[in-house]
Structure 1
Amino acid sequence: MRIAVALFEDAEELDWAGPWEVLAAWARQFPEDDVEVVTVASHDGPVTCAKGLRVLPDHTWETLGAVDVLVYPGGVGTRRELADPVVLDRLRTLHAEETLLASVCTGSLVFAAAGLLDGRPATTWWGLVERLGELGDGVDVRPDARFVDDGDVVTAAGVSAGIDMALHLVARLHSVERAREVRRYIQYDPEPPV
């Protein structure tokens, strides 16, 4: 199984790094599961994320090849992404090729702009749930959901919800037991202090 995590300018760091941690921990701790996790961006060289973190992607879209799953983060950069016809066509093509598409936070806005959420349940960051409904045709917005799995498209709410969604993906693609093992390995036991 090959999983790609998309990067783009002004992507929210935890939106991609949270799922990356979960999925890469799965791949590294359980090599017998034959999972590969890579990052992909539109260009070689550093990608500067929303809070200033600079990251080097493993691949460009041209060198990526086939993937089974794409994780698409949110962040202020999605405002540019959802208006980019190349990005929208790429997502439509991946969907048509039966790639499982998973978004975190406002990444779902880009999915909606591509028409991938028309008539489907979905969620996003709480501050832009209304915008999600405006971008698609009949999107069934679920403002209180941590994540929504609608078969070939999975959407997660803001930032930390991406970790929950990634653990759900491990459970869905392998088993609940494996997801529990990964959760324990990364010691993900959220108990907010405030």
Structure 2
Amino acid sequence: MSAITETTDGPIEVIQVLFALHPSFGAQELCGPLEILSKALHKINDPATKAFEITIAAPSAGVSSSSGLTIKADIDYDTAHEDLSEYDVLIIPGGDGVNKVLETQSEPLPIISAFAKLQISDPSKERTLMSIGTGSLLFAQSGILQGLAATTHPDYYTKMEIICKDAARKGDLEQTDVMEENYVVNNARYELGENLEENPFVLSKRPDAKRKSIARKGSNAWKESVKRRESNARRASLRLGGLRLITSGGITSGLDASLYLVAAMVSHESAQEVARIMQYTWNKGVTVEGIDV
């Protein structure tokens, strides 16, 4: 369950986020999203309404990035697996170490699979799985991208396609639409409206990998989810039990995807305020499928 923080205006939800690191992760692929989520507030003028609580998991007490930055882990992977149901968001940074993870089939591959299976077995909770850069290669290797759309760092589009095709052969033969986009969202959650042709958030048909996106903004606040037309049965009928799955491209794409996550789970106003504080221009990505389609 998400933590509850008491404020003068009553209780607010604190969204639990788990970053899963590996040796030689990309430092900026951790630090950028971490900075954005740490600054997000439910009420932009009230510091007591922090929206996210961050936990870092790693295979050892300290783990170093490819640039030599050493991060102290909050928990190890054994504890992360034990407590996995408590987290609302799992974020996987990429980096040089991804190739080693693929070779050794080590963490965070097992925790990615476990998080996806958790959503399938318990679709009553809204969960999000997000990758930065080459972290999406680990999603592909886990076989969870079949039938979905995804992106990665531009230098790895071909490798991504190869891994996805191999996963499809081992799985149910459904392909992954590898898109050349800033970030790609599957299983978004917001009211789509009655006329989908006029909705700026959703593509009624998945584009091919060469199509360019138009500007899009994030979804409604997570706190309003109980008011939506979503039902557990509807969520369960979607791929991965309705798991919101976000993949992003290179380093700055991770910033953009993180701002989308703030907009989706807190509010669009909160995301805009974080971007203002950081003096960063939020570049939008694409949302390829919504829960009410």
Do Structure 1 and Structure 2 share a fold, with TM-score over 0.5? yes
Deviation at 1:13, TM superposition (A): 0.8
- Aligned with 2:145: secondary structure? coil
Give the Cα separation in 2 of the matches to 1:19 and 1:134. Answer: 28
Task: Find the partner of 1:37 among 40, 44, 54.
Answer: 54
- Is 1:188 aligned with 2:280? yes
User: 1:91 aligns to what?
Assistant: 112
Report the AA paired with residue 178 of structure 1: S
1:57 lines up with 2:93 in the alignment: no
Letter in 1 for 2:247: T
User: d(CA) in 2 for partners of 1:185 and 1:23?
Assistant: 12
- Mapped to 2, the partners of 1:31 and 1:179 lie a distance apart of 17
Q: Is the 8 A contact 1:27 1:37 kept in 2?
A: no
Distance 1:169 1:115 in 2: 23
Question: In structure 2, do the counterparts of structure 1 residues 51 and 186 end up closer, same or farther at CA, with 3 Å as the change threshold?
Answer: same
Partner of 1:150: 186
| One-letter amino acid of the structure 2 residue matched with residue 75 of structure 1 | G
| Residues 118-127 or 32-41, more deviating | 32-41
User: Counterparts in 2 of 1:6-85, with a 5 A limit?
Assistant: 6-26=20-40, 30-44=47-61, 46-64=62-80, 65=83, 66-83=86-103, 84=105
Q: Could you tell me how far 1:82 is from its partner in structure 2?
A: 2.5
CA contact (8 A) 2:20 2:93 kept: yes
State the SS of the aligned residue for 1:38.
Answer: strand
Unaligned runs of 5+ in 1: none
Q: Determine the C-alpha separation between the residues in 2 that align with 1:27 and 1:42.
A: 30
Q: Check the 8 A contact 1:6/1:16 in 2, yes or no.
A: no
- The offset of 1:32, in angstroms, is 2.1
Matched AA of 1:19: P
More deviation, 93-102/112-121:
93-102
Determine which of 152, 157, 163 is the counterpart of 1:124: 152
User: 1:170 matched to which residue of 2?
Assistant: 262
2:40 is paired with a residue of what secondary structure?
A: helix
Q: 1:37 to 1:116 in 2, by over 3 A?
A: same
Taking a change above 3 Å as real, the CA distance of residues 27 and 16 of structure 1, as seen in their structure-2 partners, is farther
Q: Displacement of 1:100 after TM fit? A: 1.2
Which of 83, 102, 113 aligns to 2:130? It is 102
Query: How many residues end up aligned between the 2 structures?
Result: 188
Deviation at 1:89, TM superposition (A): 2.8
Distance in 2 separating the partners of 1:73 and 1:113: 15
The answer to whether structure 1 residue 139 and structure 2 residue 176 are counterparts is: yes
Deviations 1:35-77 (A, max 9, x none): 2112111222x21101111111122122332211011011111
Q: 1:132 to 1:38 in 2, by over 3 A?
A: same
Stretches of 4+ aligned residues off by more than 6 angstroms: none
Structure 1: which amino acid aligns with 2:74? D
- Partner Cα separation in structure 2 for residue 106 and residue 48 of structure 1: 17
| Matched-pair contact (CA < 8 Å) for 2:59–2:107 | no
- How well do the aligned residues superpose, as a CA RMSD in angstroms? 1.9
* C-alpha separation in 2, matches of 1:147 and 1:43: 30
**Identity over aligned pairs, percent:** 29
Structure 1 residues 113 and 106, CA gap change in structure 2 (3 angstroms): same
Q: Which amino acid in the other structure matches residue 91 of structure 1?
A: I
Asked whether the 8 Å contact 2:22–2:107 carries over to 1, the reply is no
